[in-house]
Chain A
Amino acid sequence: MIHSLFLVNSSGDIFLEKHWKSVVSRSVCDYFFEAQERASEPENVPPVIPTPHHYLISVLRHRIYFVAVIQSEVPPLFVIEFLHRVVDTFQDYFGLCTEAAIKDNVVVVYELLEEMLDNGFPLATESNILKELIKPPTILRTVVNTITGSTNVGEQLPTGQLSVVPWRRTGVKYTNNEAYFDVVEEIDAIIDKSGSTITAEIQGVIDACVKLTGMPDLTLSFMNPRLLDDVSFHPCVRFKRWEAERILSFIPPDGNFRLLSYHVSSQNLVAIPVYVKHNITFREGSSQGRFELTLGPKQTMGKAVESVLVSSQLPRGVLNANLNASQGTYTFDPVTKLLTWDVGKINPQKLPSLKGSMSLQAGASKPDENPTIIIQFKIQQMAISGLKVNRLDMYGEKYKPFKGIKYMTKAGKFQTGMQRPHVSCVKA
């Protein structure tokens, strides 16, 4: 399966290597660098690169390439999924998965990789088990360790792997028993210039933070489970129960985990919470262009739209932009031609707008007037699909836990601005 792993940073240096079978020379990465050079953008490096003797499968996260070396047939998704799991684990352990964090914790990283794969086949990937094997570093522990010389490696050998509930460690104890659930929904939409929706879908996740003593058995039910069209579960969820009763029944892992991700059925109309009006014009022959952009809330059920960020890739011919924002700040990068406007909160009484002029390269022909505009925003305390958790019950333990549920809506891949031809060009 996975032969070796190389970590490559954005400047093309291999800063970590790990081999699970016999050692593969790092020169194998030359093929990867070749492909990297050929690709115009960092994310355009093909995930699978065949070389004469090996195959390189890579993922890019946090501007680090994780390059796995494979020698024989293996489902590529298997490797990709595993590499992402590795990154998630690092993130879980070090908070950030940057080159510096990995370099600082190189020993822990090595121990983790050693536990996660045996002979290239995944062994322990559940973070609960890993945390029992190798304790995550904290500042306090680092200090204590240097003084006392004690270790990061768990004294006790893990039990989770042997139990029937491999995702949960045994003997969990808390004084405050809490269970928090965050329902986070993202809207993916493509909206054309006139404001009509081309596609819009809602993708949601329920992230949980469960800190409960013992072996609790939880059930979570929804007011309107029919909204959920397509779901994928954490392995702890009992699938049969969901099929039969539309109830989530599970013994949770300890700590943070993603309980469920779902897709809201596309039959339901998606309420788009914001609208954008923009007008960008260039006159032929002139070196000036006009820019106007206004944002406004739409169907938000009285909730405020926050952390709004607008970004747009302006045409190549634009040299500079001289704009005036009614609120927030904007930046224009003359090299990448990327305009970003950090709006903040939208006040329905006074709609934020960005107006001004753009200067064009002399002699350049009239650029395209419809750049794509990408919008990010957040709406607290609302799930845009209308999904509501009905109740959360706990069985198997006697204490009363503290329960909390939070809703949030975010923009996922939300883009607008591209003009779509209105009248279909097809007569047939």
Chain B
Amino acid sequence: MLDSNKDSLKLEAMKRIVAMIARGKNASDLFPAVVKNVACKNIEVKKLVYVYLVRYAEEQQDLALLSISTFQRGLKDPNQLIRASALRVLSSIRVTIIVPIMMLAIKEAASDMSPYVRKTAAHAIPKLYSLDPEQKDQLIEVIEKLLADKTTLVAGSVVMAFEEVCPERIDLIHKNYRKLCNLLIDVEEWGQVVIINMLTRYARTQFLNPNVNVKSDLIKSNPLGEKAFYGSDDEEGKEEKAEAAALAKRKPYVMDPDHRLLLRNTKPLLQSRNAAVVMAVAQLYFHLAPKAEVGVIAKALVRLMRSHSEVQYVVLQNVATMTIKRRGMFEPYLKSFYIRSTDPTQIKILKLEVLTNLANETNISTILREFQTYIKSMDKDFVAATIQAIGRCATNIGEVRDTCLNGLVQLLSNRDELVVAESVVVIKKLLQMQPEQHSDIIKHMAKLTDNIQVPMARASILWLIGEYCEHVPKIAPDVLRKMAKTFTNEEDIVKLQIINLAAKLYLTNSKQTKLLTQYVLNLAKYDQNYDIRDRARFIRQLIVPTDKSGALSKYAKKLFLALKPAPVLESPFKDRDHFQLGSLSHLLNAKAGGYQELPDWPETAPDPSVRNVEVPEWTKCSSREKRKEKKVEKPFYSDSEEESGPTESADSESDSASGSGSGSESEESGSGSESEESREESESEQEDKEDEEDKRKKKKKTDRGKVKAPAVESPERFFFIFSRFRFLILEVQRLASDSCSLRTSCRRWHKKTIAPSGSVKTYELLHRITGEGLGVEYCFSRQPFSPDAHMVAVQIMFTNNTNAETKNLHVEDPKLQSGMRIKEFPEIELLPPGEMVTVVMGIDFCDSTQAANFQLCTHIRKFFVSIQPPVGELMMPVFMTENEFKKEQGQLMGMNEISEKLTLGEKCQNEHGIVQRVTSAANVSRVPCGSDKECRFAGKTVSSGILVLVTVATKEERAAQLTVNCEKMVIGTMLVKDILQALTQ
């Protein structure tokens, strides 16, 4: 049927095959017939073929390869859902040969513009990892990239991938921590669970224990408190928190704002309908929150108790662990743990455990009353557990010990053997703890021997009497007498204990019991059971002194009357909290495979600034451009705290000097303005001059061509640069992580001097700190590179920020992807301090956005640098007419066309805005067009000269459609993404 032309027949056949698979029958013989249909048009047939393929591909590797090309085609489909499903199936085929193909597909999908495809890519990562763990390093790169993703759709999946592939790389989380916290509430529920669990671990490594200085009266409150106290001595007092820990006793603990953020953002999730999410938040609070706040989780956990019994089972296990450490938390909900007769036994027993843990002086009476009801239950396992629970309550709470004992003694008359046996065992344990006070109970039990028939109980009583015969010196011999009378009718275990008792009495009170003992031993000698005969023989030799008695008999007393240690009654859930709550390992109380230990709190908090998110370079630029006009940037300073009060002049000055960073950099800005204070007031005047100077020079420069050092002209200028430089060194010394004010100011010079269009972005090649004073930036000048037309011209600007000369600047040892070429710039022999120089080099990127890596060498140092082009810079403008455009476009339809709907950003609603945005995002030129609803652009790639056509069609309101036609799918996709971003901003 699979060979049929009709879809309905194929479908029917596939359905039968899938039903076979479902039943576990082997259907692998049909592989060749099925795999043919992978390209079938019918969606359902296709889906079922996928199901089949994923199931059997592992067994039929060679044949499975036949289907790969279909998926590869699917990966390039314009429809995001088809791309996603192709990737999903491709990555699910466990065939080692296709690992490279999968790797490529994942990498590509990770930068897909559709978040759904990116999500699928995240899902594919663990699949590939399990297939070939050697890909780990490359996969981590992809994970790192996806972690930076801002959509909620991706977040859960990528954290999942992170947990499976590289849970130890906690450093990858730093930059994304705050974002994850903020996105959390909108992530789908399964993702939430994974993220919360991961963040718990993260927080344990990054923050200080909030309970460090809470003097707790509970069991081993915080072994870490003291350690933190000493550990921080050698730390420099850089951070407030470290100090807080060091001065724990005097200063209150200050919680890291990030720690607070996590707690605050997870709290609403306690209201989730998903039990797993609630549990995840609960464990997070249990492990991370200050004691006072942990209570909030109790209510939510109690709510989960209403759920399915499996959920209850897991929740109760965790509650049981929590109640040991934080009993107070669940006390108000005591009644919720009352047991219903309809509960399954395992739930009942867990509830008992919780009730026992919750018992204290005030509520013990109600709990015991409840327990008494439970004893009447028909579920015998449960009754036994209840009796044990009573025993534990009795040991934990001294006040009720007697009551419990009395209650248990009453139980001895129960009809049920199990109840009696269990009670006797528990009583035995209780009595062992303080036998002196309970001789009356032992007496009472001795009396019971007349009535109780259950052999186990009789045996236990006899053991007790024997053990504590000193406390009941009068009764014990009497009991032995009675027992001796009935010896022959007793059960075997009772007989053994009678012998035992006799022996013990003989040793302590031989006067009264000598004859009795001998009588018993004689009876035993002829017993049917060989155990009893043996025991009797052994004991006789041991205790009755004869001529032949060996050395052992001297120790008989020691042997029999040694003090037996009292058994300890404690919860099986004690100490389970070293496993992360809610985890499988916790439930089993054994480490499960892949379990990540929950780390202890650090003694001192690691640097919190690692989580500060740096605004990416290009945003800085664009935001700077936007704000250029504004004179005084108030919000820029509003946050700075150390600042004693910047004067207005300092304000305006620094503004003009820095051109301002974006608002998010308030911290650095604070330091910047502070240093500026140290400068003379006169600077601001100078600044004005400089501005004029700039304008003048700009004119000159444009006339003079590009490749020349801008400075060394007027003495004024020189002085200015010098003073600037002094400031720079100050900055460097301060080691402020980023003083964008300076860099941007430098950048502005370049811009004005070199790129008159003003739309060119500069990128950093070497930061002046890593470059030890040598700062290098680059931009794509968009000029044709004259030595080789297939190369992209890259303008490189060197700034010497040191006060020593830098010599022999040149390129060395380029490491390029195959096909890429590089044309080095001529060596710069000398770069004096404070100077800058600009050169141009050519790179043939082969129409890919792969980075060109090379070494930048000075006379003393080598720096590894890389240049990565945005896709828009890989092309150059092409001039064509409307008709030509249409013709070319007609040839690039179907797979080569990618279109996307968008809403135009506020600033590019008119045609001018659109043109400006598109041309700044990509090096294309405008094509004349008859309709005013459309803007068209054309370009070709620099390396291979492939046409790239861009159309932006505007519609009502701000809606628009962006279409890119290009033979190279990768370029097209990436370009769409870039332009989309430019237009929607």
Contact = CB atoms under 8 A, between A and B. Distances in A.
Nearest to A148: B8
A44 to B, nearest CB: 5
A157 B82 CA distance: 9
A365 B414 CA distance: 12
B672 interface: no
Nearest to A373: B341
A26 B24 contact: yes
B94 A22 contact: yes
A250 B19 CA distance: 40
Contacts of B153: 161-162
Interface in B561-592: 582-585, 587-588, 590, 592
Interface in A17-63: 17-19, 21-23, 26, 40-41, 43-44, 46-48, 50, 55, 58-61
B273 A232 contact: yes
A48 B340 CA distance: 22
Nearest to B88: A118
B43 interface: yes
Contact of B272 (A16, A72, A80, A233): A233
Given A70-B584, A76-B314, A107-B18, A81 B403 contact: no
Nearest to A417: B341
- What are the 10 tightest A-B residue pairs by CB atom distance, in nearest-first order? A149-B8, A72-B594, A151-B44, A426-B365, A153-B44, A73-B595, A428-B399, A122-B190, A43-B344, A47-B310
Contacts of B514: none
B511 to A, nearest CB: 41
A70 B585 CA distance: 12
Contacts of B19: 106-107
A198 B120 CA distance: 52
Contact of B584 (A76, A114, A313): A76
A395 interface: no
A198 B372 CA distance: 14
A425 B92 contact: no
Contacts of A421: 369, 372-373
Nearest to B278: A232
5 contacts: A80-B310, A121-B157, A125-B190, A190-B338, A239-B268
A234 interface: yes
Contact of A16 (B23, B126, B308): B23
Nearest to A374: B342
Given A151-B42, A230-B299, A374-B342, A78 B190 contact: yes
B336 interface: yes
B271 interface: yes
A306 B594 CA distance: 53
B723 interface: no
Given A107-B19, A231-B271, A166 B313 contact: no
Given A110-B22, A235-B189, A239-B185, A418 B341 contact: yes
A284 interface: no
Contact of A426 (B43, B94, B345, B400): B400
B306 A75 contact: no
B577 to A, nearest CB: 15
Contacts of A239: 185, 268, 271
B825 to A, nearest CB: 47
B507 interface: no
A154 B478 CA distance: 88
Interface in B320-355: 335-336, 338, 340-342, 344-346
Interface in A128-158: 148-149, 151-155, 157-158
A43 B582 contact: no
A72 B583 CA distance: 11
A368 B379 CA distance: 13
Nearest to B12: A149
Contacts of B306: 188, 203, 263
A59 B587 CA distance: 16
B113 interface: no
Interface stretch (B47-55, B468-476, B696-704, B883-891): B47-55
A23 B55 contact: yes
A335 interface: no
Nearest to B280: A75
Contact of A75 (B197, B338, B340): B197
B369 A425 contact: yes
A224 interface: no
B376 interface: yes
A426 B359 CA distance: 13
Chain B interface helix/strand/loop/mixed: helix
B668 to A, nearest CB: 32
Nearest to B127: A119
A261 B303 CA distance: 10
B408 to A, nearest CB: 11
Interface of B: 6-8, 11, 15, 18-19, 21-24, 42-44, 47-48, 50-51, 55, 58, 79-82, 88, 91-92, 94, 114-116, 120, 123-124, 126-127, 130, 153, 157, 160, 185, 188-190, 193, 197, 268, 271-276, 278-280, 299-300, 302-303, 306, 308-311, 313-315, 335-336, 338, 340-342, 344-346, 361, 364-366, 368-370, 372-373, 376, 378, 381, 399-400, 403, 406-407, 415, 582-585, 587-588, 590, 592-596
Contacts of A299: none
B587 A162 contact: no
Contacts of A166: 188
A424 B365 contact: yes
Contacts of B23: 15-17, 106
Contacts of B415: 365
A282 B364 CA distance: 33
Contacts of A122: 190
Given A149-B11, A420-B369, A41 B345 contact: yes
B43 A230 contact: no
Contacts of B300: 230, 232
A110 to B, nearest CB: 5
Contact of A119 (B126, B340, B594): B126
B592 A72 contact: yes
A427 B345 contact: no
Contacts of A23: 55, 58
B296 to A, nearest CB: 11
B48 A234 contact: no
A420 B582 contact: no
Contacts of A425: 365, 368-369, 372, 403, 406-407
Interface in A206-261: 229-235, 239, 243, 258, 261
A355 interface: no
B584 A74 contact: yes
A82 interface: yes
A201 interface: yes
A210 B160 CA distance: 34
Contacts of B157: 121
A119 B311 contact: no
Contacts of A76: 314, 582-584, 587
Contacts of A41: 344-345
A288 interface: no
A1 B300 CA distance: 25
A415 B341 contact: yes
B340 A190 contact: yes
Contacts of B6: 149
Interface centre among A15, A81, A84, A233 (most CB of B within 10 A): A81
B193 A78 contact: yes
A370 interface: yes
A109 interface: yes
B584 A75 contact: yes
B18 A106 contact: yes
Nearest to A153: B44
Nearest to B79: A157
Contacts of A60: 309-310
Contacts of B335: 198-199, 266
A74 B373 CA distance: 38
A157 B24 CA distance: 30
Contacts of A78: 190, 193, 276
Nearest to B596: A73
